[in-house]
Structure 1
């Protein structure tokens, strides 16, 4: 078990519809951590502003940074955050560091569970009931499937050697054929959660 006085921030990263929210929920249930999936800030803001607008981006990042700061300063044992990360975009790496900073400043652990799955499986998962319930912006499946395929073609959404400097804080799992609970169990064992 992890030290409950040391806050943990666990990023669950990977491409769209890989199962980040579902696996993050399974980890939260297992550990007592709180799940903060990326659409918890995206969906309310989409009611007001288009995704690509400066208003959306400013508010989305500001809300997240404030939540991370409050969570790190609280008595929460840990926070699980889901994120699609373009490893070729330095701005994404800077954003991850900004999100992690309050945890690092308090001596917390910052961990990365990276998921990968075949595109065909992710397209099936893209229409999953829990995904669509939590993410109304994904309910237009024609658009959402096209977005998933387009992101795969345009961005590098899984790491190569990006975590070579700190392998103890990174775990890569291909969850194409694994149940979320099995992934959560492996992650909890690897990180000692």
Structure 2
């Protein structure tokens, strides 16, 4: 039985660093949304039809294999909550893991726009996400999406049985991870480091 933790929120809110902390504390495997994006960009070019299709296939297959092989997984994701297709996609992941006997946990992060703009330019972010090295483009994309989409749920909106909202503007990633673990009563796996963070 595999569990899935989705760490969701707008660009540069801190999803990756929180997910990395959860990975190391729980010995869960981890897939960033940018893992599939960067690979598909390199092969098929930025924003092309083939890139979008491969990106989708990459993620779909990773989830299928996690369920098949009982691999607990953390996934970082940016959702536009004003789009029904986003709700449908997230609920499909919930259904996939729960029908296989696992659990689905949804961690929603939020932070001020000022803090997100600062985090957008951190060396760690640019090291892990090649597309973010163009800081001017990345900043413009962040601001555009903030205006165009609703990247956090409404205050009284709860989408899942296990849905935790955290404003991490002033919290360290480890503090957020500890709160998630305590809230959901999660227990670390017994795994060798190479099994869950090889090459990380």
Assess same fold via TM > 0.5: yes
Match of 1:108 in 2: 102
Residue correspondences, number = 185
Match of 1:64 in 2: 59
Kindly indicate whether the alpha-carbon contact (under 8 Å) linking 2:41 and 2:47 is maintained by their aligned counterparts in 1: no
Kindly indicate whether the alpha-carbon contact (under 8 Å) linking 2:32 and 2:77 is maintained by their aligned counterparts in 1: yes
How far apart are residue 159 of structure 1 and its match? 0.6
d(CA) in 1 for partners of 2:131 and 2:121? 12
How far apart are residue 57 of structure 1 and its match? 1.6
Task: Please tell me whether residue 175 in structure 1 is matched to residue 171 in structure 2.
Answer: no
How far apart are residue 74 of structure 1 and its match? 1.1
Q: Which blocks of at least 5 consecutive residues in structure 2 are unaligned?
A: 187-200
Deviations 1:36-77 (A, max 9, x none): 11111000111233443221221111110110010111132x
1:41 paired residue among 36, 40, 45:
36
How far apart are residue 100 of structure 1 and its match? 3.7
d(CA) in 2 for partners of 1:138 and 1:178? 23
1:14 paired residue among 6, 9, 20:
9
Match of 2:63, SS state, is: helix
Kindly indicate whether the alpha-carbon contact (under 8 Å) linking 1:111 and 1:170 is maintained by their aligned counterparts in 2: yes
The TM-score with structure 2 as length reference comes to 0.87
1:1-193 matched pairs, under 5 angstroms: 6-76=1-71, 78-160=72-154, 161-163=156-158, 166=160, 168-193=161-186
d(CA) in 2 for partners of 1:58 and 1:163? 30
d(CA) in 2 for partners of 1:46 and 1:75? 29
Aligned residues: CA RMSD = 1.4
Match of 2:44, SS state, is: coil
